[in-house]
Amino acid sequence: MSLPASPTPNPTVPAGPSIEIRSSRLWALIRGRFTEFLFPGHLSADRLGISLVKVGFWLTPWTRQDEHLPMSHLAEVTHERGLIWDSISIESSGGLNPLAVEGLPKGAAKRFVDQVRAWMNG
């Protein structure tokens, strides 16, 4: 007699609505960040967690930084407002290496932070 297998998450089950935000190419151009001009960093979130994708150097775009933080490990979402562009920093419950993106459009950054906080609290 065999024991029933433990339930595993089904990858075909959608995580519900998602939201995505990318850094501004104009911001990268003004700041002289050529890599971020070609490959803007972006955050995406759904009810399961938050993902960050950043390219480290424009000559090697295949060596990019892909990080995922499950929603259950989120400790804090920090929204730093600037004059023209904003930045978002997301800290895990461990406190090491927060997910951060700079040069975000103001309205999109506010919507992203509000939605992530609603998922954290709900």
How does pLDDT run across 93-116, given as a tens digit for each residue?
887 888 999 999 999 999 999 999
Q: Is residue 105 domain-resident?
A: yes
Q: Is residue 73 domain-resident?
A: yes
Q: Is residue 6 domain-resident?
A: no
Counting residues of the chain whose pLDDT is more than 90, the rounded percentage is 66
Domain span at residue 68 reads 19-121
pLDDT at 15: 66
pLDDT digits (tens, 9 = 90+) for 3-12: 444 444 445 5
Q: Is residue 30 domain-resident?
A: yes
Across the range 3-28, mean pLDDT stands at 71
Q: Which residues contact 51 (CB under 8 A, 6 or more apart)?
A: 43, 44, 45, 66, 67, 68, 69
The model's pTM:
0.82
pLDDT at 109: 96
What is the count of structural domains for the chain?
1
pLDDT at 7: 44
Residue 36 sits in a domain of what CATH number? 2.30.29.30
d(CA 116, CA 119): 5
pLDDT at 8: 44
Across the range 68-92, mean pLDDT stands at 93
The C-alpha torsion from 32 through 36 and 37 to 39, rounded to 10°, is: 160
CB 24 within 8 A of CB 105: yes
Q: Is residue 56 domain-resident?
A: yes
Q: Is residue 91 domain-resident?
A: yes
Q: Is residue 34 domain-resident?
A: yes
Report which secondary-structure segment, H or E, holds 27.
Answer: helix 25-31
**Whole-number mean pLDDT of the chain?**
86
Tell me the residue type at 80: E
Q: Is residue 10 domain-resident?
A: no
Please tell me whether residue 114 adopts helix, strand or coil conformation: helix
Listed residue (104, 116, 113) closest to 46, CA to CA: 116
